[in-house]
């Protein structure tokens, strides 16, 4: 199933790691911390005032915002220590507080007047994309250029809001207010006076069309959402069939597309919806297949930047400012240049000072070069990392959880993290064996339950004992399976993801030393997702966890995305499993249940069950949690980077990006020469 605005569509032939992590982050699209948050102050973070529903002020001012939202647990004191001094990470602190009543309106900020005098200049970033003719502009299907450039997508087809992880509030974008209407509705008030870059007005029709196409494409959101309707030109009402705190997050973080471009498809989908057909029906599937062929050479945007089509090459593309955008006077740069490429391509560009910000997961030796060259390294959280996946169709002898547990014990994960990362950019965190990052899962489990999580600290003797109990035998220095075959496997990883390649190589070396001979094979990243999804591997490196505040999204990625939702079955891990003390567990049902209800306290018990089940079953073995390792260049083209004490550095690298927020609020500006 599709699940998130940034998830690569079905039938995709290519997905980058950054797209995967962003996709997982909304789940596979969206959930609770955001949903449970308040409406944030304008991006200037001005003093907050009383919350009252308002319409959008003129474009030269920040909007006031109102909102009611489900509650989310506050951070707890448990967790893994933050990385080294250069790191900007989410350090779990404080204690869980009481839930906020749903009737309480979120505080809002006073409007901020901007100078209306942007500095101009250029911002240079890097991101892998597919140029035309394969690259195109329909952002619901594969190889869409606007969304392919990752975090910079939000500068084009903007979302309704973006989330502040430090304050559990939302920054208003195309929405100016919202409220939960118990028991099962969520109303969104849209910004007035906005026009698309082709001059057409932004309205509720755009939002309804966007969400009807997500229904047609079977986004996971529709496990909870029952309907979406326009109440008037600037108000949209979402009705939940299952009240869920993930719905507000899904809704607010959705990038809205133009009805003028997609309306015919949204209305055809609506007609089938009104007939009572399910998204899984043949009729809807046929429409979706037709839509998958709807490729665009260009498309209007609602944000301050738009890809200049003539500038697109295999090496770079240029985003130009849209002078008529509602927030054009708030952003400084005239152009944003995006260089195309993965780590090997972007590294020399960073060293030659042609890139102002890059998120590519650079190897330790390269990061040391950056540091010597005066290029700043920052370690904001990724809330994910590399894991060893098992294709149980190819290696059925690993279906026994004791075998996967043995492999977890046989790999020294601290060593693996040191090899794959460095300079504080990767850690073997305490609770990663829940399948959810420490900074997230510690919000959802009691200290007692967290203490019971097995971290699988390196212990080859325990690994050997578990294999023996599972019927494996060691002959000389090599293990043999219960079928008497030598334990010999191949591990794959994407060649250009240097951290994953290093993690996979080190894990294979450690397993071979332990007696499970493991060879490695690198595959170009443009083909990797396809091969992985088809189940064309034995062992492989892929992501665990995702940068979204509710564990639901991490478990969708861990259990569904490279498994039941993969076109070829991926890792072929059955979602009905037996867990000691829990009996037979239906993991799919538990994941869906974990997001039901509008209060986090109601969901903690289910999240705890999932965490304990994952810790026992280990559908994949997390190796490390990544912390940024992002390159920042100050003073060549861009200035205004805030000090590391700024809380926005705690935003995840690939979701609700601090760089995008600082571009939008004018914090980052061009250097005047």
Residue-wise pLDDT tens digits, 206-263: 999 999 999 999 999 999 999 999 999 999 999 999 999 889 989 999 999 999 999 9
Q: What are the distances in angstroms from CA 226 to CA 211, 247, 248, 340, 597?
A: 11, 10, 13, 40, 14
pLDDT, position 169: 86
Collapsing DSSP to helix, strand or coil, 319 comes out as strand
What range defines the domain where residue 448 resides? 388-625
Distance CA 507, CA 431 (A): 19
Distance CA 212, CA 208 (A): 6
Label residue 593 left, alpha or beta by phi (over 0 means left) and psi (-120 to 50 means alpha).
Answer: alpha
Same-domain pairing of 45 and 154: yes
Residue-wise pLDDT tens digits, 188-199: 999 999 999 999
Length of the chain as a residue count: 673
pLDDT, position 404: 98
Written as six digits, the tokens of 500 are: 């994953």
Q: What are the distances in angstroms from CA 79 to CA 89, 92, 108, 552?
A: 12, 6, 31, 19
DSSP string, 335-393: EEEEE---HHHHHHHHHTT--SEE-S---HHHHHHHHHTT-EEE--B-S-EEEEEE-TT
Q: Is residue 214 part of a domain?
A: yes
Q: Is the pLDDT of residue 44 over 70?
A: no
Q: What are the distances in angstroms from CA 435 to CA 2, 282, 551?
A: 21, 35, 9
Distance CA 382, CA 628 (A): 6
Total of domains in the chain: 3
Q: Between residues 557 and 602, which one has the greater pLDDT?
A: 557
Same-domain pairing of 481 and 458: yes
303 band by pLDDT with thresholds 50, 70 and 90: very high
Distance CA 411, CA 386 (A): 13
Same-domain pairing of 406 and 553: yes
pLDDT, position 381: 93
Same-domain pairing of 653 and 597: no
Nearest to 554 by CA among 5, 159, 21: 21
Q: Which of 291, 324, 354 is the last residue of a domain?
A: 291
Same-domain pairing of 374 and 403: no
Distance CA 161, CA 184 (A): 21
Distance CA 609, CA 85 (A): 35
Distance CA 654, CA 112 (A): 27
Q: Is the pLDDT of residue 96 over 80?
A: no
The mean per-residue pLDDT over the stretch 272-299 comes to 97
Written as six digits, the tokens of 480 are: 């043999």
Q: Which of 291, 315, 334 is the last residue of a domain?
A: 291
Alpha helices in 75-195 (DSSP H): 145-148
68 band by pLDDT with thresholds 50, 70 and 90: very low
Same-domain pairing of 205 and 325: no
Distance CA 283, CA 288 (A): 9
Distance CA 536, CA 524 (A): 14
**How remote is the C-alpha of 43 from its chain's centroid?**
21
Pair 431, 455: CB distance under 8 Å: yes
Q: Is the pLDDT of residue 43 over 50?
A: no
CB atoms within 10 A of CB 58: 11
Lowest-pLDDT choice from 21-25, 114-118, 472-476, 517-521: 21-25
Nearest to 571 by CA among 483, 492, 470, 485: 492
Distance CA 172, CA 192 (A): 12
Same-domain pairing of 395 and 316: no
Written as six digits, the tokens of 42 are: 């304008």
Backbone φ and ψ of 389, nearest 5°? -100, 150
Q: Is residue 11 part of a domain?
A: no
Label residue 276 left, alpha or beta by phi (over 0 means left) and psi (-120 to 50 means alpha).
Answer: left
Q: Is residue 489 part of a domain?
A: yes
Same-domain pairing of 61 and 169: yes
Lowest-pLDDT choice from 6-15, 626-635, 657-666: 6-15
Q: Is the pLDDT of residue 74 over 50?
A: no
Any idea what the CATH number is for the domain that residue 58 is in? 3.90.76.10
Q: What is the pTM of this model?
A: 0.85
Same-domain pairing of 608 and 646: no
Same-domain pairing of 547 and 660: no
pLDDT, position 114: 53
* 631 burial level (CB within 10 Å; 0-12, 13-18, 19+): buried
Q: Is residue 159 part of a domain?
A: yes
The mean per-residue pLDDT over the stretch 302-312 comes to 98
Lowest-pLDDT choice from 56-65, 245-254, 446-455, 589-598: 56-65
Collapsing DSSP to helix, strand or coil, 237 comes out as strand
Q: What percent of the chain has pLDDT over 90?
A: 77
Q: Which of 253, 269, 291 is the last residue of a domain?
A: 291
Nearest to 547 by CA among 72, 21, 93: 21
Any idea what the CATH number is for the domain that residue 349 is in? 3.40.190.10
116 band by pLDDT with thresholds 50, 70 and 90: low
Distance CA 283, CA 599 (A): 36
The mean per-residue pLDDT over the stretch 574-586 comes to 97
Q: Is residue 127 part of a domain?
A: no
The mean per-residue pLDDT over the stretch 629-636 comes to 96
**How remote is the C-alpha of 288 from its chain's centroid?**
24
Same-domain pairing of 284 and 317: no
Same-domain pairing of 217 and 273: yes
Angle (nearest 5°) at CA 119 between 116 and 120:
110
Written as six digits, the tokens of 187 are: 């109303």
Angle (nearest 5°) at CA 177 between 171 and 180:
110
pLDDT, position 115: 52
């Amino acid at each position: 199933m599709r699940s998130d605005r940034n998830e690569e569509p079905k039938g995709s032939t290519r997905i980058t790691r950054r797209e995967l992590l962003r996709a997982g982050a909304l789940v596979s699209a969206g959930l609770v911390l955001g949903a449970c948050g308040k409406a944030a102050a304008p991006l200037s973070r001005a003093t907050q005032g009383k919350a009252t529903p308002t319409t959008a002020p003129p474009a030269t001012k920040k909007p006031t915002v109102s909102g009611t939202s489900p509650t989310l647990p506050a951070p707890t004191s448990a967790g893994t220590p933050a990385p080294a001094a250069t790191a900007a990470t989410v350090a779990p602190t404080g204690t869980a507080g009481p839930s906020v009543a749903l009737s309480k309106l979120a505080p809002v900020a006073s409007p901020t007047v901007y100078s209306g005098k942007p500095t101009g200049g250029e911002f240079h970033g890097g991101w892998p994309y597919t140029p035309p003719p394969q690259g195109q502009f329909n952002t619901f299907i594969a190889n869409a250029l606007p969304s392919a450039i990752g975090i910079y997508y939000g500068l084009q087809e903007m979302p309704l809001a973006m989330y502040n992880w430090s304050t559990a509030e939302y920054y208003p974008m195309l929405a100016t207010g919202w409220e939960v209407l118990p028991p099962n509705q969520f109303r969104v008030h849209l910004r007035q006076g906005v026009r698309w870059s082709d001059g057409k007005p932004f309205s509720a029709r755009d939002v309804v069309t966007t969400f009807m196409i997500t229904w047609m494409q079977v986004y996971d959101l529709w496990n909870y959402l029952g309907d979406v309707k326009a109440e008037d030109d600037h108000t949209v009402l979402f009705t939940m069939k299952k009240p869920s705190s993930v719905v507000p997050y899904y809704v607010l973080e959705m990038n809205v597309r133009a009805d003028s471009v997609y309306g015919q498809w949204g209305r055809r989908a609506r007609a089938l919806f009104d007939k009572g057909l399910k998204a899984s029906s043949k009729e809807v599937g046929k429409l979706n297949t037709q839509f998958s062929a709807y490729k665009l050479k260009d498309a209007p945007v609602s944000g301050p930047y738009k890809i200049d089509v003539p500038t697109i090459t295999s090496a770079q593309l240029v985003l130009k400012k849209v002078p008529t955008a509602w927030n054009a006077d708030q952003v400084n740069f005239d152009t944003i240049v995006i260089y195309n490429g993965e780590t090997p391509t972007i590294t020399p560009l960073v060293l030659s000072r042609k890139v102002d910000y890059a998120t590519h997961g650079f190897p330790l030796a390269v990061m040391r070069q950056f540091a010597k060259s005066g290029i700043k390294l920052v370690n904001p959280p990724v809330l994910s990392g590399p894991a060893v996946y098992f294709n149980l169709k190819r290696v059925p002898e690993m279906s026994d959880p004791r075998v996967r547990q043995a492999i977890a014990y046989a790999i020294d994960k601290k060593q693996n993290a040191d090899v794959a990362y460095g300079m504080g950019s990767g850690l073997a965190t305490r609770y990663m064996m829940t399948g959810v990052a420490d900074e997230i899962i510690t919000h959802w489990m009691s200290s007692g339950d967290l203490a019971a999580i097995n971290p699988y600290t390196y212990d080859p003797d325990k690994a050997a004992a578990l294999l023996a109990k599972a019927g494996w035998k060691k002959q000389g220095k090599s293990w043999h399976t219960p079928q008497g075959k030598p334990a010999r496997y191949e591990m794959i990883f994407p060649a250009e993801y240097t951290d994953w390649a290093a993690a996979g190589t080190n894990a294979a070396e450690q397993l071979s030393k332990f007696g499970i001979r493991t060879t490695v094979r690198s595959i170009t990243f443009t083909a990797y997702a396809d091969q992985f999804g088809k189940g064309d591997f034995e062992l492989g490196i892929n992501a665990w966890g995702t940068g979204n505040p509710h564990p639901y999204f991490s478990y969708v990625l861990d259990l569904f995305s490279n498994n039941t939702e993969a076109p070829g079955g991926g890792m072929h891990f059955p979602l009905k499993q037996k867990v000691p003390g829990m009996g037979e567990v239906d993991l799919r049902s538990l994941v869906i249940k974990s997001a039901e209800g509008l209060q986090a306290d109601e969901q903690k018990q289910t999240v705890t069950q999932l965490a304990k089940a994952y810790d026992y079953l280990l559908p994949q073995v997390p190796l490390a949690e990544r912390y940024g390792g992002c390159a920042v260049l100050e003073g060549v083209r861009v200035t205004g980077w805030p000090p590391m004490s700024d809380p926005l550095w705690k935003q995840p690298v690939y979701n609700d990006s601090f760089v995008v927020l600082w571009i939008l609020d004018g914090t980052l500006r061009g250097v005047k020469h």
